[in-house]
């Protein structure tokens, strides 16, 4: 199993503040996303990640997020297995995210 990088909410906020080229993928379910998402995040429910992987660019940098970090870790590991090199899991997920939300 490949090692997945961890990104703290603070590191992600800093990357967003600096307009870094980073893609956020929210793997929560529809009803969870309705409670707010990180700005610029793309919603791909965990169950849809395998069919959506071909629409993602392996050369881009991704941060995966869920409620607590467990499901997004599974998605991160899946992307790593598919050859994605720059994949991060958001530590603590949305439970630890203190930044802005979009609805």
Q: Which domain holds residue 13?
A: 5-96
Catalytic residue among 66, 73, 79, 87: 66
- Does residue 71 sit within a domain? yes
Residue 60: how many CB atoms within 10 A of its CB?
13
- Does residue 84 sit within a domain? yes
Active site residue 75: no
Q: Please compute the mean of the pLDDT values over residues 42-60 and round it to a whole number.
A: 97
Element (H, E) at 94: helix 93-96
Q: What is the pLDDT of residues 64-82, one digit of tens each?
A: 999 999 999 999 999 999 9
Q: What is the pLDDT of residues 19-30, one digit of tens each?
A: 999 999 999 999
| pLDDT reported for residue 2 | 57
Q: Please compute the mean of the pLDDT values over residues 28-48 and round it to a whole number.
A: 97
CATH number, domain containing residue 53: 3.40.250.10
- Does residue 51 sit within a domain? yes
| pLDDT reported for residue 3 | 83
- Does residue 57 sit within a domain? yes
| pLDDT reported for residue 13 | 97
Number of domains in the chain: 1
- Does residue 35 sit within a domain? yes
Q: Please compute the mean of the pLDDT values over residues 39-57 and round it to a whole number.
A: 97
- Taking CA atoms, 89 is separated from 4, 72, 73, in Å, by 7, 6, 6
């Amino acid at each position: 199993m490949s090692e997945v990088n961890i990104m703290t909410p603070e590191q992600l906020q800093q990357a967003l503040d600096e307009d870094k080229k980073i893609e956020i993928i929210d793997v929560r379910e529809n009803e969870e996303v309705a409670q707010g998402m990180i700005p610029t995040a793309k919603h791909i429910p965990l169950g849809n990640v395998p069919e959506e992987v071909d629409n993602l660019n392996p050369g881009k940098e991704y941060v995966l997020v869920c409620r607590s970090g467990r499901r997004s870790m599974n998605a991160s590991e899946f992307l790593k297995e598919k050859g994605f090199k720059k994949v991060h899991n958001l530590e603590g997920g949305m439970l630890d995210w203190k930044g802005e939300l979009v609805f």
